[in-house]
Amino acid sequence: MACRLYEGKAHAASYWKYRISPSEHLMKQVLNFCEGHRGGPFELAVDVGCGSGQGTLLLAKHFASVVGTDVSPAQIEMALQHAKQPNVTYRLCAAEELPFADSSADLVTAMSAFHWFDRPRFLLETHRVLKPRGCLALVNYTLDMELSYSDCCSHTLNQICREFYAALHPYRNPILGPNSIYLYKEAFEAIPYPNKEWQECVWDRTSMPLSSYMGLVESFSSYQALLRDDPQKAQKLSEDVCQR
């Protein structure tokens, strides 16, 4: 069953502002796999559950045409506001009913989104729209983040963040389980394609101010669930973390 979150306008705006895009390195790994498996030139990439489109834009220079799709009107509106490349367009639709012809896409991606879909239906739909030897990339990040600040206080920083995540844990959507890696691994093992590649951990390094880190965590579904449940508690938690 699909799970619809991320639909509010404020949430969509925080997505554009704070969410981390997949790194160039990770994108290159995906493209190398497509290149080796199917070969170019690449015509169409479809980024399903594209949100505000940061990841979608990274595909633009590699494909003649890129289409980001999302079920949330607010997310698509945000993506359209930031769409600059002429070969990138967006469609409002469910992951389980993609508006593309059979055998039309070279690559289908789902970045931090697959876990929210009706996964069996999405996989069937992806199979329908992919060209023969087309590729599917399911990308996600976990809470295994490590923070550092200059050469000092990293240990304290990480301890505070672990406490932050622990406070959010009761609000974590049960779909995700204890760690979304298990969900992805299970899907990976069940997908009956002969050529597939599992990358458990691709570290990326990025620098950001405290406000962006807070914005990122506050965009997570667990924080949003707390915010809906008890806005004052959510605000106090954020303030406590910032002060510490």
Ligand X SMILES: C[S@@+](CC[C@H](N)C(=O)[O-])C[C@H]1O[C@@H](n2cnc3c(N)ncnc32)[C@H](O)[C@@H]1O
Q: Which residues would be at the binding site for ligand X (CB under 6 A)?
A: 2, 4, 6, 15, 19, 49-51, 54-55, 70-72, 75, 94-95, 111-113, 116-117
Shortest distance, CB of residue 77 to ligand X, whole angstroms?
11
Q: Which two tokens stand for residue 45?
A: 């990439």
Helix spans in 109-197 (H): 119-129, 154-168, 180-190
Cα-trace Rg, the chain: 18
What residues contact residue 150 under an 8 Å CB cut-off, 6+ apart? none
Q: Which two tokens stand for residue 92?
A: 């409002």
Q: Nearer Cβ to ligand X, position 24 or 240?
A: 24
Q: Nearer Cβ to ligand X, position 72 or 238?
A: 72
Number of separate helices (H) and strands (E) present in the chain = 10, 5
Output the residue with the shortest Cβ distance to ligand X: 51
Q: Nearer Cβ to ligand X, position 116 or 223?
A: 116
Residue 68's identity, in one-letter code, is G
CA distance 98 to 23: 26
Q: Nearer Cβ to ligand X, position 2 or 225?
A: 2
Q: Which two tokens stand for residue 207?
A: 């620098």
CA distance 98 to 128: 9
Q: Nearer Cβ to ligand X, position 61 or 236?
A: 61
Shortest distance, CB of residue 213 to ligand X, whole angstroms?
16
CA distance 129 to 122: 11
Q: In what order do the strands lie in the sheet with 105-111?
A: 88-92, 65-70, 44-48, 105-111, 130-139
Q: Nearer Cβ to ligand X, position 219 or 238?
A: 219
CA distance 16 to 91: 17
Shortest distance, CB of residue 92 to ligand X, whole angstroms?
9
Shortest distance, CB of residue 90 to ligand X, whole angstroms?
11
Shortest distance, CB of residue 163 to ligand X, whole angstroms?
23
Cis peptide bond N-terminal to 22, omega within 30 = no
Shortest distance, CB of residue 94 to ligand X, whole angstroms?
4
Q: Nearer Cβ to ligand X, position 204 or 239?
A: 204
Shortest distance, CB of residue 116 to ligand X, whole angstroms?
4
